[in-house]
Amino acid sequence: MLTTPDSLLKYLTDVTDLRLPDGHFIDGQYCAARSGRSMQSEDPGRGEAFADFARGDADDIADAVSSSRKAFALWRRTPPAERGRILARTAELIRRNSERLAIVECLDSGKPIGEARGDVSGAARTFEYYAGACDKLEGSTFPLPSNYVGFSQFEPVGVTAHIIPWNFPISTAARGMAPALAAGCTVVAKPAEQSPLTALLLAELLVEAGLPAGVCNVVTGTGAEAGAPLVASTGIDHVTFTGSVTTGGHVMRACADNVTRSVMELGGKSPVVVLSDCDFDSTIANVAGAIFEHAGQICSAGSRLVIEAGIHDRFVEALGKKARTISLGHGLRSPDMGPVSSAAQRDKILGFLDRARVRGAEFISGGQVSANTESGKGYFIEPTIVANRPEDDELVQEEIFGPVLTVQKADDPVHALHLANSTRFGLVAGVFTADFAKAHQLARDIDAGQIYINEYFAGGIEVPFGGNRQSGFGREKGIEGLKSYCKVKSIAARIG
C-alpha cells in the first residue's frame, strides 16, 4: 500500500524507519570501509545531508573482487533454472519492499516520488524478465559435413564490474546486475557517490532471495578512490559503464590495459523530430515529458526539439505555456519536477544558460534558479525552453543534463533528418508524425541506437538499449543485454 503525501513528509527530518545501510555489502553482509572513513549522501531537494555511507578505496575493491572471484566458481555451475528462481524471488522482494526503496531513491536522487516508484517497479520487472531467460540461453549447431558435428554454447564471461550513475540508481543497477547474474556471472558494483543507497539495498535483497554470498558485492565511495581501481583490476573480466563521454574514455583506457571487455553508455543529445501532421496535443505532452522528467537528467532525454516550420510557432507557444505550469518541489511532495542532483550540477547548467544569454538566445520559458517554495532550499532550475538556435550552437551540440530544451526549426522532413544527425551523439531519437511511411523512413535514417515513434520512452526491458558514435557501444536490456555477459565457445568434432 502506498504511503500518502502527508505521511511521506516525516522523512524530510527523520529517516530512522528506512533502516539505511552505512557500509559496503561484501561477501553477503555489510561491513565498514577498511580505512574506517565515511561520507555523506545529500538530499538534493533540501541541499542537506541525510545519511552516512562507507568511503571505499582500492583495499575495499580488492576484497570485493576477491569475494566475487571465489563465488564465480559456484555460481557459474548453478543450474540456470535455479538462477532463475533466485532472480524471480528477488523481483518479488523488490515489489514487497517497493515503497521503502522508492522513498530512499527519492531522497538520494531528488526525483519525484512517482518517478521513483516507477523506477522501482521497473527494477522488479527487470529481474522478472531475466529470471525467465536464464534457462533459455541456447547455442547453435553448424552445418558441417556428415562426419563432423559442430555446435556453440554460451558461457558466463566471469566477474563483472558495474559503474552505476547517479540519475537512475536502482534502474541502472538492475539493468546490469540482473542479466549478469542470469548469465552466470558475478557482480561488483560501484554506485555513484551522490546516490549509493538503493544499490546496497538491492544486494541485500538478492541475498535474502537466496543468492550465495559473494556473487553480488557493492562498494561505495568516489569514482577516483573506488571506481578507478575497480575498472583497472586484473580480477575483472567485463565492465559495464554508464556516464559521461570524458569519464567513459578514462574507463576504456583502463580496460585496454587488461584487455577487459566493456559496454559503454555515454549519454546523448537526442532529437525529438516533430512533423506538421503530428497529433498536436499528444506530441506536446510527449515533448515536455521527454525533457522535464527527472529535471532532464536522463541520458536519453529529448533535449532537442527539431520541428517542421509549418507548426513551429503554434507548437512552441503551446509548449512554453505547458512548461510554465510545471510545479517544482521536493520529491516527497509529489511535484511535477524535482531538483537537479547537486549544487555542482545546478551551476554547470546555469553556466550553459548564462553563456546562451551572452550569445543573444531567446528564452521561451525558464532559464533561472527556482527556490523550493516549501523550504527555500534545494537545487531547483525552472523548466527551460530556448528558441531556435543555429546548428553549431553550444546548446545544440553539448549535453547539458538538465531541464533545458533547445528548439531547431526544420524546413521539411529532409532538413529535419539533417538536423537530427548533426551532433556527435547517437543514443535515441523521437519521431512524431501521422504518416507511417515518413516515420519509418526517419527511423531508418536517423543514426541512433533506439528510435521512438509517436511515444517518447516507448518500450521496456524487452527492447535493447545503447548508443552509436560518442553515445557509446554495446547494448543493454533485452536478450542482447544478456548476451553482453556471455562469451561464445564453438566446438567441432570428427565423428566418423
Catalytically active residues are 265, 299
Alpha helices, DSSP H, located in 433-494 = 436-445, 478-483
Query: Which backbone phi and psi does 421 adopt, to 5 degrees?
Result: -95, 15
User: Angle at CA 92, nearest 5°, toward 72 and 458?
Assistant: 95
Cell numbers for 391: 546548428
Closest by CA position to 286, among listed 298, 277, 295, 274: 274
**Per DSSP, which regions of 243-338 are E strands?**
261-265, 270-274, 302-308
Up-side HSE of residue 56: CA atoms within 13 Å toward CB? 33
**H or E segment and range at residue 123:** helix 113-131
The rounded distance, in Å, linking the Cα atoms of 327 and 63 is 46
Q: How many CB atoms lie within 10 A of CB 82?
A: 12
Sign of CA dihedral 428, 432, 436, 442: negative
Q: Please list, residue by residue across 177-199, b when 16 or more beta carbons sit within 10 angstroms of its beta carbon and e when fewer do.
A: bbbbbbbbbbbbbbbbbbbbbbb
Sign of CA dihedral 31, 36, 39, 40: positive
Query: Which residues does residue 212 pair with via DSSP β-bridges, in sequence order?
Result: none
Output DSSP code: residue 477. S
Cell numbers for 174: 538492475
Are 199 and 161 contacting, i.e. CB atoms less than 8 angstroms apart? no
The rounded distance, in Å, linking the Cα atoms of 415 and 171 is 36
Q: Please list, residue by residue across 431-453, b when 16 or more beta carbons sit within 10 angstroms of its beta carbon and e when fewer do.
A: bbbeeeebbebbbeebebbbbbb
Closest by CA position to 363, among listed 348, 379, 350: 350
The rounded distance, in Å, linking the Cα atoms of 366 and 381 is 8
Q: Is 338 buried (19+), middle (13-18) or exposed (0-12) by CB count in 10 A?
A: buried
Those residues with Cβ within 8 angstroms of residue 407's Cβ, 6 or more apart along the chain or in another chain: 304, 305, 307, 312, 316, 364, 385, 386, 387, 388, 389
